Structure 1
Amino acid sequence: MPVRYAPVRYAALLALGIAGAAQAQPVATLPQIMPQPMAMHLTGGLLPIGPNATMVIQRDSDPETIRLARESLAALGVTHIRIARHLPARRKDTTIVLGLAGDATTAKALAETGGAPVTGQEGYALASTAAGGSPLIVLAGADADGLYYAAQTFTQIAARGTMPALSITDRPRMPVRGTIEGFYGAPWSSADRLAHIAFLGRLKANTYIYSPKDDPYARTNWRTPYPADRLAELELLIDAARRQHVRFTYAISPGPTICYSDPADVAALRRKIEGFQALGLRSFLIAFDDIAYATWNCPGDAAAFGPPGKEAAGRAQAALVNDTMQWLTTRDPQATLMVVPTEYYDAVETPYKAALHAIDPRVLVQWTGTDVVPAAIALRDAKAAARAFGRKPLLWDNYPVNDYPESTGRLLLAPYAGRAAGLADALSGILANPMNQEAPSRIAVTGSAAFAWNDRDYDPERTLPFAARMLSGDHAATTDALLLLFDLEHLAPTFGALPWQPQAPLLKQKLDLVRDRLAHGAAGESLTALRALAAEADSIAAAPAIIRAHVNDAGFLTQSGPWLDAMALWGQALQASTAGLIASLVQEPASARHFADAAALATRAGAIRTLPGTTRPQGTIRLGDGVLDLFIRQAPELVSADRRHESARNDGP
């Protein structure tokens, strides 16, 4: 006979839990890992991690992986670490093993934990147990990248301060995951790029493409060598990316001026690539986007490829790409090459795309989806693109980039969404095109990286709290304040009139509830809803100061500064509007003054502009637009005009 739990039983259990929380020993709970692992489950309780540990290091454990493991042990309370090459014969303290899954010591330790085998390139296993009497933690990688990813997962677990017995087996669904700095407008600084590369490493993303449109040495003056100081800056980035297991990829855009048939231009392209090969770079991209491709830049191309036209352009581009790929791999068999075609969006089969079928199958061809900024990408779209290009495309996803008119004045902070589970079956990877503002871009890129790793189990709504906690250092009030900002910058535009993600959906629910209660005229319910809205307005108004006090990322604070300024004023305007509505309902005389204050504050908020020289295009800040500003404008009409006029008379001299 099934047991029935009465509500009083639940209440008693809850009361018992609250009363005993301070005295109870912590229990093991499943951690949140981003990206979501393929398989993860608890196998026991919390491990008794003490102050001493032995770290058993096998081959291919690079310094960054070891550093991450050391820091994670420190977060768990370990103060003394002994280094060994083999498992201790007798273990009385915590032992952690780092190595490749094929190493005998690593395999033996993994078997002792009951962990599952490691499979797939970049895959890893992380397993922990205390079954032998002392804690044993194993980080096993299919390769050096997988071992590094195991250490990143260990870092996320250890940040909680406790280590449960658990088993994780994981590997990426897509081989290419990361970002392409491919926007128009002011390029990122070296500090921005270093921060972004470190961020990509934490999220198990493996690719960063350097392709700022406003770098003259990569596009307008692509034949010209970089000055020594610029090359030194790029070398620092390449070295940093290597440490973080991120493939730094250099993109060159010769399309506007190249003569495909001219040996001098082919030689110039090779010289530019050779300069980066000398720095240890192995990954390159040739971009033909945003060019006029139905005309030739020199008479020789007509003789080599026929009359100018889109199909001829496709044949010329394919010839240059194949020549470059053959030359590259002769010099470095491990070199990789990507290409951005001129017809980079839609999945329509055309003569130009058909000509690109001749490109070496090892070359990755990028595609932005069914539009330049697509609202959604279905599996059928990706399969159609694969037919059009003759291979699985690499998705250049133009989100959260904000360099086009419809995004003027916006940070795009909605979660990465609208991409169908199962796209890994039809794509070779995903590269997000971020905003001019590097640090705020990480909010959405957290989602794109998580989706590319595990599209089947991806949940966009879980990425926003995770990103907020990362920025806040897991400070609860700051996390909540950031989530308010994310909601007010939730709108995601396209090139058309309709956005593909709505503005301020959480705030809109609360404002709609107030409208509903006022419309139905029940004073008690209206006042209850308005008091809740007043608390929300207080939170919005206070959020910028909380963020500035507790977010330690200087880049985020600077780059989001105008939006934080506007948020404080919009919060104050909502406070004034709410006060006006409450005053009207309780027949206090100050309602008109409150509404006037709200209008004045809204005007000030709406006049704040983007930082000069950063965003393209420049403009006034738009935050919560169509939701917050609309409510403030309409609030005086939600109550009796006679009552407001009476209030205004009572407020007079």
Structure 2
Amino acid sequence: MTQSNSQKNMTAVERVFLGGVRKVLPTGEHAEFIAETCEKMGIPFGGGGNITISAEFSGARDMTYIEEARRLTDEKFKVKATKTDGGVNVSIIFGGMRALYYALCRLFRQISDGFILAGEFFDYPLFERRGYIEGFYGKPWSFDERASMLRLMSERGMNTYYYAPKDDEFHREKWDKLYPKSYFDEVIRIKQLADECFVDLHFCIAPGLSMKYSDEDCFTKLMAKFRQLYGAGIKNFGLLLDDIPENLQYAEDIEMFGGETVEAHIYLANKVYDALKSIDRGIKLTVCPLQYHGRGDEYFITKLGKGIEPDISLFWTGRNICSQELTVIEAARFIESTRRRPLYWDNFPVNDAEMINEMHLGYIDGREPELFKYSEGIISNCMEYCESSKIPLLTVADYLWDPLRYDAENSWKDALKTVVGEEHETFAYFADHLFTSCLKSENSRLMNDALGEIQTQLYTGNSEKALRVFSEYSGKLSKCVRFLKNSDDKLVGEMSRWVKKFLLCAETLELCRRFMAGEKELEKQIADKYDEYLSKPEVLANFSFNEAVEYILKM
């Protein structure tokens, strides 16, 4: 399942192809909002439109309550599309403006593809909080990158963005200093864009490296920072206490908290919470704990969870820092220990620290379908490569919208099409090698299939068929190589390290194909090119590539 074909309680649906004319005619009470959304998404609109769209708000139970999740919502919508002589008539019933926005985004994607689904259906997200966090070690994104990500992810149903780049010096090292005006102006712009996209912006501060918890002056400086951000309209904050020394650093703190870091963190979290609530009762606070992964019932996280205010959200990464699985059983244990549902900080697709030679371009996997009932939501940590992060994040968006119907493979293919465009099938022969992550050890599936078939034919003495299979696969690789070499796309530029190694891989395989075809003088060239490939640290093609090259050289 992708969101493009996610419909619940659906009646008969058929595709109405729009032909060359694709123009929206907004009507009714919400015509202005429909027109504004058309303009933002590049959809033609106005008089003479062949796609009439009207919208109506409903506060009824069936539009404001999600039965499966047992919660109220403002994100539920109902669409009825009817074919007419000149085009399509669409009416939308929605339970909140965010729901109307999602319904329009869904319709406009269909229009861009040249059709509208005629019929009637409800839709709504199952996870309450669906988003991403700029929480990696590495170069923070630019304003344009943040804006591009915000627009795309909001169009795909994400509703939350946490700002927390580790290498923003004012986020972590200079937590006690106010943001300078030039940067603060960008904060205001991001907040305004987030509001336009119906995304909740959470701004995080990480004081734990140097803060003296017992010092009132330190607390005053921290609150001055939060007040500055509140002045930009931000009402959602994060207090990050992760990746800091386990033991208290100052004698005054050791004395005040009996040497217990967890007591200091309970004290700080509750004090910040009370101070923020005194500014505005609508403010929300998220805490990232010092212990952010494990079983969920260890001493530190249990004491912290039971010690902080009940409506403080608590980040949790699961069993491990980068968890292969997130399960209902583990979530239930966390709930019992901390008296709150986990808000998952999911360390995928991030590729910092020990993972810097991996490019995580695969799909989200290993998150149980029923997890939406036992968590606040999932916030995915991104890579510093913003454009590349969009591909896995689009699959995250699909999973979070409807985990019960999530189809990982189709979601990934749709993500490639969205980000890469017309050449997405060609690009897939490169992306095929970029699945290795904490979620998956398997990689290079298209290559494995081709090389496996080649070796099978060679083992059975059918060298002619083996060469045909090799030539077919090599041709697809060559097309992909040409695309990558000729592309000036930002996506390809971000992945230049992996592209260079992929070119070596493709060159090695082409030499192997020619060697198999009878050019035995290429043996040394193959060995040299293969050695050059192996000298590169980037993670790419796996065992089957190495095995195939070595086998062919022995022929």
Q: Same fold, TM exceeding 0.5?
A: yes
C-alpha contact 1:62 1:144 (8 A) present in aligned 2: no
Cα distance between partner residues in 2 of 1:547 and 1:79: 40
Task: Tell me how many residue pairs correspond in the alignment.
Answer: 544
C-alpha contact 1:33 1:156 (8 A) present in aligned 2: no
Task: Report the CA distance between 1:57 and its aligned residue.
Answer: 4.5
* Structure 1: stretches of 5+ with no match in the other structure: 1-30, 83-92, 108-117, 584-589, 609-619, 640-653
- Give the structure 2 partner of residue 287 of structure 1: 240
- Give the structure 1 partner of residue 252 of structure 2: 300
Task: Report the CA distance between 1:223 and its aligned residue.
Answer: 0.3
C-alpha contact 2:296 2:302 (8 A) present in aligned 1: no
- Give the structure 1 partner of residue 465 of structure 2: 528
Cα distance between partner residues in 1 of 2:204 and 2:48: 43
Render the CA deviation track for 1:385-410: whole Å, top value 9, x for unaligned.
222322110111111111132x2322
Q: Percent identity?
A: 21
**SS state at 1:316 partner:** helix
- Give the structure 1 partner of residue 387 of structure 2: 439
C-alpha contact 2:3 2:156 (8 A) present in aligned 1: no
Cα distance between partner residues in 2 of 1:434 and 1:39: 34
Task: Report the CA distance between 1:32 and its aligned residue.
Answer: 5.5
| Equivalent in 71, 80, 83 of residue 47 of structure 2 | 80
Q: How does 1:454-473 map to 2 (within 5 A)?
A: 454-473=402-421
C-alpha contact 1:218 1:253 (8 A) present in aligned 2: yes
**SS state at 1:422 partner:** helix
State whether structure 2 residue 434 is matched by structure 1 residue 489: yes
**SS state at 2:432 partner:** helix
State whether structure 2 residue 534 is matched by structure 1 residue 599: no
C-alpha contact 1:128 1:136 (8 A) present in aligned 2: yes
**SS state at 1:349 partner:** coil
C-alpha contact 2:443 2:542 (8 A) present in aligned 1: yes
| Equivalent in 538, 543, 549 of residue 475 of structure 2 | 538
- Give the structure 2 partner of residue 100 of structure 1: 57
Q: 1:229 to 1:72 in 2, by over 3 A?
A: closer
**SS state at 2:132 partner:** strand
Cα distance between partner residues in 2 of 1:373 and 1:131: 51
| Equivalent in 203, 211, 226 of residue 258 of structure 1 | 211
TM-score (norm 2): 0.90
| Equivalent in 352, 355, 361 of residue 403 of structure 1 | 352
Task: Report the CA distance between 1:62 and its aligned residue.
Answer: 7.5
C-alpha contact 1:38 1:454 (8 A) present in aligned 2: no
Cα distance between partner residues in 2 of 1:183 and 1:51: 41
State whether structure 2 residue 263 is matched by structure 1 residue 328: no
| Equivalent in 31, 37, 40 of residue 68 of structure 1 | 37
Amino acid at match of 1:96: I
- Give the structure 1 partner of residue 442 of structure 2: 502
Amino acid at match of 1:560: M
Cα distance between partner residues in 2 of 1:176 and 1:540: 40
Amino acid at match of 1:385: F
- Give the structure 1 partner of residue 140 of structure 2: 187
Task: Report the CA distance between 1:258 and its aligned residue.
Answer: 1.5
Q: Considering only aligned residues, what root-mean-square deviation do their CA atoms show, in Å?
A: 2.8
Q: 1:445 to 1:32 in 2, by over 3 A?
A: closer
Q: 1:136 to 1:502 in 2, by over 3 A?
A: same
| Equivalent in 159, 163, 177 of residue 112 of structure 2 | 159
Cα distance between partner residues in 2 of 1:40 and 1:533: 45
Which one is further off, 463-472 or 382-391?
382-391
Task: Report the CA distance between 1:119 and its aligned residue.
Answer: 7.6
C-alpha contact 1:402 1:411 (8 A) present in aligned 2: yes
C-alpha contact 1:35 1:451 (8 A) present in aligned 2: no
Amino acid at match of 2:55: L
| Greater C-alpha radius of gyration | 1
- Give the structure 1 partner of residue 68 of structure 2: none
C-alpha contact 1:259 1:298 (8 A) present in aligned 2: yes
C-alpha contact 2:516 2:552 (8 A) present in aligned 1: yes
- Give the structure 1 partner of residue 287 of structure 2: 339
State whether structure 2 residue 503 is matched by structure 1 residue 555: no
TM-score (norm 1): 0.77
Q: 1:491 to 1:127 in 2, by over 3 A?
A: same
- Give the structure 2 partner of residue 387 of structure 1: 336
- Give the structure 1 partner of residue 123 of structure 2: 170
Task: Report the CA distance between 1:155 and its aligned residue.
Answer: 1.7
C-alpha contact 1:45 1:164 (8 A) present in aligned 2: yes
C-alpha contact 1:51 1:79 (8 A) present in aligned 2: no
Cα distance between partner residues in 1 of 2:2 and 2:125: 17
Cα distance between partner residues in 1 of 2:12 and 2:58: 21
Amino acid at match of 2:495: S
- Give the structure 2 partner of residue 353 of structure 1: 301
